[in-house]
Amino acid sequence: MARRTGNSRWRGLRNLTGKFRLADILPSGRTRAEYTAFFGLAALDPKSRLLDCAGGPASFNAEMTDAGFSVVSADPLYRFSAKAIAGRVDETRAQMEAGLRANRHRFVLNGPGAIRRHLQTRETATSRFLADYKAGRRAGRYRVAALPDLPFAAGSFDLALCSHYLFLYSGHLDTAAHIAAIAAMLDAAPEARIFPLLDLDGEPSRHVDPVRAALEARGHGAAIERVDYEFQKGGHAMLRVWR
Query: Which pLDDT score, from 0 to 100, does residue 57 have?
Result: 96
First to last CA, the chain: 34
Query: pTM of the full predicted structure?
Result: 0.90
Q: What is the pLDDT along the chain (243 residues), one digit of tens a residue?
A: 233 333 334 333 444 444 557 776 677 899 999 999 999 999 999 999 999 999 999 999 999 999 999 999 999 999 999 999 999 888 888 888 898 899 999 999 988 899 999 999 999 999 999 999 999 999 999 999 999 999 999 999 999 999 999 999 999 999 999 999 999 999 999 999 999 999 989 999 999 999 999 999 999 999 999 999 999 999 999 999 999
The CA distance from 208 to 217, in Å, is 14
List, in sequence order, every residue forming a beta bridge with 53; answer none if it has no partner: 74, 162
3 state DSSP class of 72? strand
The CA distance from 28 to 55, in Å, is 10
Query: Which pLDDT score, from 0 to 100, does residue 181 have?
Result: 98
Domains along the chain with CATH numbers: 13-242 (3.40.50.150)
